[in-house]
Structure 1
Amino acid sequence: MRSSDFCIAGGGIIGLTLALELHRRGAEVTVVERDIPLKQASQAAAGMLAVRDPDNPPELLPLSELSIDLYPAFLDRIERLSGQRVPFQTTVTYQSVGHSSLRPAINLPTGLIPGDDGLSRLEEHSLDPRQLAPALLTAVRNTSVVILDHTTIESAPPAGCLISTLGPWGAPPAAPRKGQMLAVSVPASFGLDYVVRTEHIYIVPRLQGPRAGQAVIGATVEDAGFSTHTEPASLARLRGLAAAFLPAVADETDFPIVDHWAGLRPYTPDNLPMLGEIEAADPGSTKRFVATGHYRNGILLAPATAHVMAELLTGEVPSVDLCRFAPGRFGKA
């Protein structure tokens, strides 16, 4: 096998987006994936580009803002390489702000009730990861990037640098946090064209593509190892939480469940990603870097992560200060 400038371990949204960015900069890139690319969390996500979700750590904001600025060019490049357009599904989110001082939304859409909480209207996009994933994979395959399915790091070809984007399957302290989700069919007459999000629930409609007319409801947060089983009681609880804001969702006849699944989010103890170089035990060994731990924001942060990691890997000063995301903050990996 030929050598590469960079070998990326992990074929999820982060790994493939980084491969695409490094290729754009002229590098020879190989991606090794122990299973098949984009099979795990990349397609399980809801697809909210939640830059200003109040539950996000404030340290994440500069990286999030960079990522949303990069998103149009990112999607354009995917379309040019793959011939597949990935549209934004929604442009508005109604965010529960609890009893904070934020002003509640006015002119609420039909069917949406604020309950005891205020609702803030955010100009925020969402997309369907199940549209993004195949388009991204096709785009990468249409470059000189080599993707090796069913391949482990141990059998990877030689490279000048190794980057782990293995998510919860990488080294500690990255760990899996299970999230169960369901999708319901939404009557066209209901007019659900916005996202509803609270601390414990979100409702994300699909307006274009093969899942148009559905809405994703999620998600549980569970320490359940690598289990991806769904449980009827958990799905029922999610529907009940959603109905507190959209009462019509409780009607199982008009809003039947059409799908359910669970994904594994890559979690770190401080809810921040790990981006940077890992200290090598042997100074003469291959340089190793990590880009993982994006938790609930992998889809949002993929373009910015690829951008700043490519800058770091090619000797440039990253556009965002990565000190807060240094892998060494948890000790030796």
Structure 2
Amino acid sequence: MTGTRYQTDALIIGGGVIGCAIAYELAKAGVKALVLEKETLGSQSTRAGAGMLGAQVEMMEPGPFFELGIKSRALFPNLQEELRELSGIDMELQTPGIFRVAVDEADRAALLARQSWQTAAGQRAVWFEDEELRSELGDLLTPKFGALYLPDDHQVRNPQLLLALAASAKRLGVQFIEQTAMVGFLEENGAVVGVKTIEGEVRANRVILAAGAWTGLIANQLGLELPIYPVRGQSFLLDSFAPPTPFTIYTHGCYILPKRNGQVYVGATEEPQAGFDRRPNLRSLAVLSTQAINLFPSIGQLPFAAPLAGLRPGSRDGLPFLGPVPGIEGLYLASGHFRNGVLLSAITGRVIAELLTGNAPSVDLTPFAVDRKVVPQTADTTPTHSI
């Protein structure tokens, strides 16, 4: 099939939580939007993610990324009500907080330092020594070095958040096309004006790349070299009528999240060497199971429900890319969120909608600019990249 199949104002490439959040915010702003997804909505990292709103637990230092996470986390209570009113679907926001358990003396010192700068930034962070921790969580936990309690870091259930965003956006007029991959860009006079698919063209005034781990590959079609790469994450679900704790328990390499539907989420590995292979494997799940049982022995009695695996969109400096692509009119990026796609979905949707409607972004996007100089997080021989 050839010719123009769809015409829209904003075309979003990628139907994960980021793409759906952008679609929802654009629709709220009165922008005609269409989401193009090569598989099914949320079938990539969104499906496999934990759903943590870890604005504090995930951040190692103060700075723009920490501030971005805090601002996004604050949007979720109102977002929950908006989406529930529009769609009738509850994202299952849970607010008991997160315990970040120290694994050794060095980890303890680092967490105490984190408590200091986070409280100085106006955030709540409470230290629990072992006996206090046992009184709060019971003797099922096996702590040795204390834990940092973050009462304002929450969680949602990813499938519910995605459904609520998509259903609400659709009710506001957004079109969704699934099982349809783009095969190239449409360009006119140096501007991107849409994409080509096997089924025909989709033309748009603005195109937003929100394709997760695949964003770099897609950008290559325009000659852009983006340091976005896949990082496989494996996790699994356990069945429980009554999860052993209402809190999220988190430590190096492992976190345990009780879900409102009775399941317990255990995650997650980080495997950049896996490339685009999304298949779970026995070794990784065995290591993760051992870590989880050592952290919280009682979950070893829970029945196994299902393995999960997805590809997170990593970036060399750990920061997402948000905003217009310099030199290519009509093209925007919203990718590279790595482990924080759910947390940052709310603020990402908001700022992209602000940009496309001519409003000043509610946060400074300079640290996340597409043309920033990207310095790797760890010293290695990998060259830095810019576009």
Task: Please say whether Structure 1 and Structure 2 have the same fold, judged by a TM-score greater than 0.5.
Answer: yes
Match of 1:181 among 205, 219, 235: 235
Please name the residue that 1:249 is paired with. 299
For residues 297 and 321 of structure 2, what CA distance do their matches in structure 1 show? 40
Give the corresponding residue for 2:24: 20
Kept after mapping to 2: 8 A contact 1:195/1:203? yes
Which residue matches 2:266?
A: 217
Distance (Å, rounded) in 2 between the aligned partners of 1:278 and 1:240: 44
The answer for the alignment partner of 1:71 in structure 2 is 76
Q: Contact 2:59/2:66 (CA < 8 Å) preserved in 1?
A: no
Amino acid at match of 1:17: A
- Range 29-38 or range 172-181, more displaced: 29-38
| Alpha-carbon shift at residue 56 of structure 1 (Å) | 4.8
CA offset at residue 110 of structure 1?
A: 1.2
CA contact (8 A) 1:90 1:195 kept: no
Asked if 2 retains the 8 angstrom alpha-carbon contact of 1:90 and 1:127, the reply is: no
- Structure 1 counterpart of 2:235, one-letter code: M
Provide the residue aligned with 1:167 in structure 2. 212
1:292 aligns with 2:339: no
1:17, 1:240 → 2: CA distance?
A: 35
Give 2:246's aligned residue: 193
Q: Assess if the C-alpha contact under 8 Å between 2:267 and 2:288 holds in 1.
A: yes
Matches of 1:247 and 1:46, distance apart in 2: 20
Deviation at 1:114, TM superposition (A): 5.0
Matching residue within 3, 7, 11 for 1:3: 7
Which letter does structure 2 place at the counterpart of 1:320? V
Matches within 5 A, 1:229-268: 229-250=279-300, 254-268=301-315
2: CA distance between counterparts of 1:65 and 1:205? Answer: 23
CA contact (8 A) 1:90 1:205 kept: no
Aligned mate of 1:99, from 108, 114, 118: 108
1:244-286 Cα deviation digits (max 9, x unpaired): 2212223xxx2121111111111000111000111235xxxx4
SS of 2:94's equivalent in the other structure is strand
Normalized against structure 2, the TM-score is what? 0.78
Give SS of 2:108's match.
coil
Structure 1 position 72, deviation (Å): 1.7
Q: Distance in 2 between matches of 1:56 and 1:166?
A: 26
Q: Tell me, in whole angstroms, the C-alpha distance in 1 between the residues paired with 2:58 and 2:31.
A: 38
Q: Provide the residue aligned with 2:318 in structure 1.
A: 271
Q: Which runs of 4+ in 1 moved over 6 A?
A: none
> How far is the alpha carbon of 1:128 from its aligned partner?
0.9
Contact 2:80 2:93 in 1 (8 A): no
Is 1:139 equivalent to 2:165 in the alignment? no
Give the TM-score normalised by the residue count of structure 1: 0.90
Distance 1:55 1:201, change over 3 A: farther
In 2, the alpha carbon distance for the partners of 1:237 and 1:194 equals 22
Matches within 5 A, 1:87-126: 87-97=92-102, 98-100=107-109, 101=112, 103-105=127-129, 106=132, 107-123=135-151, 124-126=153-155
Q: Percent identity?
A: 31
Q: Is 2:354 aligned against 1:311?
A: yes
The answer to whether the aligner puts 1:36 opposite 2:40 as a matched pair is yes
Provide the rounded CA distance (Å) in 2 between the counterparts of 1:232 and 1:54.
27
What is the distance in 1 between the residues matched to 2:39 and 2:58? Answer: 35
CA distance in structure 1 between the partners assigned to 2:58 and 2:165 by the alignment? 29
Q: Name the CA distance, whole Å, in 1 between partners of 2:37 and 2:370.
A: 22
One-letter identity of the residue aligned with 1:91: P
Answer yes or no: is the 8 Å Cα contact 1:81–1:142 preserved in 2. yes
CA distance in 1, matches of 2:44, 2:346: 18
Q: CA deviation at 1:116?
A: 3.0
Deviations 1:150-192 (A, max 9, x none): 141323422111110011111231111001101122363x632
The residue that corresponds to 2:196 in the other structure is: 154
SS of corresponding position for 1:327: coil
Q: Distance in 1 between matches of 2:138 and 2:72?
A: 32
Contact preservation (8 Å) 1:249, 1:255: yes
Distance 1:34 1:56, change over 3 A: farther
| Matched residue count | 321
Distance in 2 of aligned mates of 1:65 and 1:130: 22
